């Protein structure tokens, strides 16, 4: 079972609020994620009220820009620390469309009624839920609270990308990763940090596993892609392009190749976009 206290403790010390601002890898992830959302989110036509559940949304990195665009956003997260940061920003920025900031475990959404949301963002929980039944509960709950025709955007760390990244951690932080830890992750997809430092309680599924998980819970795939694509670990080079046309063309090329299976499995975070049937 996932040790949720270890996960919560990790976010007490990790600067999740600024993770996507601190370096070019984070900036590219945010930029590409917003492109995916803008392409796939329901339009706010004729004053339509589109409700969004940002599940595992941390301090609201995506909640705030979506709320400012006019979406009615409910932010939910496991971490009290990150939610307090979001509440503070809500007050400071006077963001009325951020409806609430709720402490929630992604496997239990009983605080929300059936068919409550048009959209669910799942940008975090699938990184941490180590057990199959936890992932199934999470997606089943998302299916329940989504309206028919509603969309889910779920990010995950693909098996090879996550496992291979542990090789680097094994070299840099041997207190966190042993050779047995590494072998187990390649075999099972599970990562159990040996220390209290660094990322805790990870799970790295294949893209097929993610697609099947959502199919089994009544979703139809719209898109399954890498987020940063071939820009993964080339972010510093990409942001050196000051010519806007060149920069824009690079982003278009990333988008156009993002569904290649080899890129999905090897290039960092990926995303599933599905519709509740």
pLDDT tens figures, 153-164: 999 999 999 999
Confidence of residue 258 (pLDDT cuts 50, 70, 90): very high
Calculate the average pLDDT of the chain.
95
Least confident of 6-20, 104-118, 189-203, 228-242: 6-20
Would the pTM of this model clear 0.75, i.e. be above it?
yes
Confidence of residue 252 (pLDDT cuts 50, 70, 90): very high
- Whether residue 46 has pLDDT greater than 80: no
Give me the CATH code for the 4-158+205-276 domain, please: 3.40.50.150
Query: To the nearest whole percent, how much of the chain has pLDDT over 90?
Result: 87
- pLDDT (mean) for 78-101: 96
- Whether residue 113 has pLDDT greater than 90: yes
Query: To the nearest whole percent, how much of the chain has pLDDT over 70?
Result: 99
- Whether residue 269 has pLDDT greater than 80: yes
> What are the domain boundaries of the chain?
4-158+205-276, 160-201
Confidence of residue 242 (pLDDT cuts 50, 70, 90): very high
- Please report the pLDDT score of residue 88 as a whole number: 96
Per residue in 207-241, pLDDT (tens digit) is 999 999 999 999 999 999 999 999 999 999 999 99
What string of H, E and C letters represents the secondary structure of the chain? CCCHHHHHHHHHHCCHHHCCCCCHHHHHHHHHHHHHHHHHCCCCHHHCCCEEEEECCCCCCCHHHHHHHCCEEEEEECCHHHHHHHHHHHHHHCCCCEEEEEECCCCCCCCCCCCCEEEEEECCHHHHCCCHHHHHHHHHHHHHHEEEEEEEEEEECCHHHHHHHHHHHHHHCCCCCCHHHHHHHHHHCEECCCCCCCCCCEECCCHHHHHHHHHCCCEEEEEEEECCHHHCCCHHHHCCCCCHHHHHHHHHHHHHHCCCHHHHHHCCCEEEEEEEC
- pLDDT (mean) for 1-29: 88
- Whether residue 10 has pLDDT greater than 80: yes
- Please report the pLDDT score of residue 47 as a whole number: 64
């Amino acid at each position: 079972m996932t040790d949720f206290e270890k996960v919560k403790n990790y976010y007490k010390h990790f600067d999740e609020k600024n993770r996507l601002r601190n370096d070019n890898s984070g900036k590219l992830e945010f930029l590409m994620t917003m492109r995916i959302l803008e392409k796939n989110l329901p339009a706010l036509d004729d004053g339509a009220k589109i409700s969004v559940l940002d599940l595992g949304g941390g301090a609201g990195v995506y909640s705030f820009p979506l709320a400012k665009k006019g979406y009615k956003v409910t932010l939910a997260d496991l971490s009290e620390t990150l939610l307090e940061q979001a509440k503070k920003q809500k007050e400071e920025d006077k963001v009325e469309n951020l409806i609430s900031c709720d402490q929630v475990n992604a496997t239990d959404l009983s605080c929300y009624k059936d068919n409550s949301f048009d959209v669910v963002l799942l940008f975090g929980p699938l990184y941490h839920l180590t057990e199959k039944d936890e992932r199934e509960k999470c997606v089943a709950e998302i299916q329940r609270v989504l309206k028919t025709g509603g969309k889910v955007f779920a990010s995950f760390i693909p098996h090879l990308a996550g496992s291979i990244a542990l090789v680097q951690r094994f070299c840099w932080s041997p207190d966190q990763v042993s050779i047995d830890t590494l072998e187990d992750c390649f075999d099972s997809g599970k990562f159990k940090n040996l220390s209290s430092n660094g990322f805790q309680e990870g799970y790295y599924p294949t893209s097929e596993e993610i697609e099947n998980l959502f199919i089994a819970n009544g979703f139809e795939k719209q898109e399954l892609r890498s987020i940063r694509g071939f820009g993964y670990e080339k972010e510093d080079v990409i942001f050196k392009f000051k010519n806007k046309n060149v920069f824009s063309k690079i982003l278009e090329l990333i988008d156009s190749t993002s569904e290649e299976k080899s890129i999905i499995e090897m290039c960092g975070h990926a995303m599933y976009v599905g519709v509740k049937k």
